[in-house]
Amino acid sequence: MDHNNIDTPCERHLFQSCCHEAERAAIVAVALDQLREALPESFHSHLIALAGVIWDSSRRLRDLASNSQSHIERVPLVLDYLDIILPCLCRTLNDILGYYEDRSLAREIRWRKMYNKMTEEAGGVPLPQRFVLYNDFLAMLGSLLNRSPSFDPNTLETLRGHLVKLREKQRIPPLPHQVGSVSLADIVPSWATLTDPSAHWAEQIFSLPLASRTVLKHVKPPFDSDRTSVVAYLNPLDQAPYLLIRSVQGEVAWFSSHGIHELCIGREGSALQLKRWSRSERCSKLWAAFYFITWEEMVLFYCTFVALKARNKLTVQINPTEFQLQREKRLFQAQIVDDGYKHSLVVYEDQQTHGIRLQAAVWDGELKQCPVWTAFGGS
């Protein structure tokens, strides 16, 4: 796997810190679950609530690190804010571990001391609410990074103010300088240009609910979403679609990215395989294998991939086999006119699930056989 990290040392350090703190948060959440099992049931609700918001912090930190790779041009917007929250979050997690690992005290006393002392430290803010503050701030940074319409600069600034006060109570030294180069004053006037009101058609495909769900059987488990994720994005340099895989190994996040025009797709059993060309070995090599929960999701990913590759200006050539999803039987084909254009309409039956689907593809020209739409029927 090719490991491509953010290039700037400061950016790399901060986003690796996100992965580091995500791992620490997971360790703390597990410790709290173990503590809960050793305490009477009257303590369980508070411990469950606290562990839940800490797990949420871990997930949001991993998401930020992952999404930074597909939104590199907006990374400077979040650097200063990350430098505010990460030391604060780190101190809180370490303090919790300190109380938890104090073997000189009974478990119940550890929990009471942890909760009361840390609530007192935060000026009366209960410990779970402190993580709610962290998570709201991380969620807003995610919206800022992802160009989400839900981003609110005023909310972000309010949350930042709360975190600065919390840092003071934790006796964390103030920031000596600004890490990034973009301030809130820069964000507000440019936000209209950062937010794209019309989502890419590929995004809309996967945002629609499925009318049917045909479960696929696998010999391998699906991705662990906390440690491995796949993101599709438009590269701002060439406006071409790319795929990014993030994998967390220990406390280090590794990234591998390839343009869709550099990959070939094929089906192997219940999985879609993506292969890349190895220049050193002068042959194609497996880059990733995706195991989908449902047959419908697999078909949608396949059709979307082929359509993006066929319409990509960087694509040199498409192997004719990529236009045919393996393990499908063609039941019917005819020419139709759809929206004023000639298309081939094909009815396919999946040999594994016996699911039926219709697919319209371009009839002729440069985009011949490129999928236009697909619809699922009964099995």
**List of long-range contacts for 111-118, beta carbons under 8 Å, 24+ apart:** 111/35, 111/39, 111/43, 111/47, 115/46, 118/92
| pLDDT confidence of residue 148 | 81
Whole-number Å distance between alpha carbons of 86 and 63: 15
| pLDDT confidence of residue 2 | 37
What's the average model confidence in pLDDT over 62-90? 87
Whole-number Å distance between alpha carbons of 357 and 346: 8
Whole-number Å distance between alpha carbons of 355 and 376: 8
| Identity of the residue numbered 184 | L
Whole-number Å distance between alpha carbons of 20 and 340: 54
**Contact predicate 84/162, CB 8 Å:** no
Three-state DSSP class for 177? coil
Q: How confident is the model at residue 70 (pLDDT cuts 50, 70, 90)?
A: confident
Give the least confident one: 85-94, 188-197, 214-223, 255-264. 188-197
Q: Classify each residue of 242-271 as buried b or exposed e, where b means 16 or more C-beta atoms within 10 Å of its C-beta.
A: bbbbbbbeeeebbbbbbbbbbbbbbbebbb
Identify the helix (H) or strand (E) that includes residue 27: helix 9-37
Q: Which position has the higher pLDDT, 222 or 350?
A: 350
Report which listed range, 14-23, 254-263, 351-360, is most confident. 351-360
The residue among 258, 253, 291 whose CA lies nearest residue 275 is 258
Dump pLDDT digits (tens) for 132-174. Answer: 999 999 999 998 888 787 888 878 888 999 999 999 999 998 8
| pLDDT confidence of residue 225 | 53
Dump pLDDT digits (tens) for 299-328. Answer: 999 999 999 999 999 999 999 999 999 999
Report which listed range, 198-207, 245-254, 302-311, is most confident. 302-311
| pLDDT confidence of residue 223 | 56
Three-state DSSP class for 199? coil
Whole-number Å distance between alpha carbons of 211 and 260: 28
Whole-number Å distance between alpha carbons of 336 and 360: 9
Which tokens sit at 1? 């796997």
- φ/ψ of 327, rounded to 5, equals 65, 30
Burial class of 82 by CB neighbour count within 10 A (0 to 12, 13 to 18, 19+): buried
Q: How confident is the model at residue 199 (pLDDT cuts 50, 70, 90)?
A: low
Q: What angle do CA 64, 66, 72 make, to 5 degrees?
A: 85
The residue among 43, 33, 78, 73 whose CA lies nearest residue 60 is 78
Q: Is residue 8 predicted with pLDDT exceeding 60?
A: no
The residue among 139, 300, 183, 169 whose CA lies nearest residue 232 is 300
| pLDDT confidence of residue 202 | 78
**Contact predicate 36/3, CB 8 Å:** no
Cβ neighbour number for residue 24 with a 10 Å cutoff: 21
User: What's the whole-number average pLDDT of the chain?
Assistant: 85
The residue among 351, 205, 349, 367 whose CA lies nearest residue 359 is 349
Dump pLDDT digits (tens) for 347-374. Answer: 999 999 999 999 999 999 999 999 999 9
Q: Which position has the higher pLDDT, 75 or 229?
A: 75
Which tokens sit at 20? 């580091």
Dump pLDDT digits (tens) for 35-47. Answer: 999 999 999 999 9
What HEC string does 222-286 produce? CCCCCCEEEEEEECCCCCCEEEEEEEEECCEEEEEEEEHHHEEEEEECCEEEEEEEECCCCEEEE
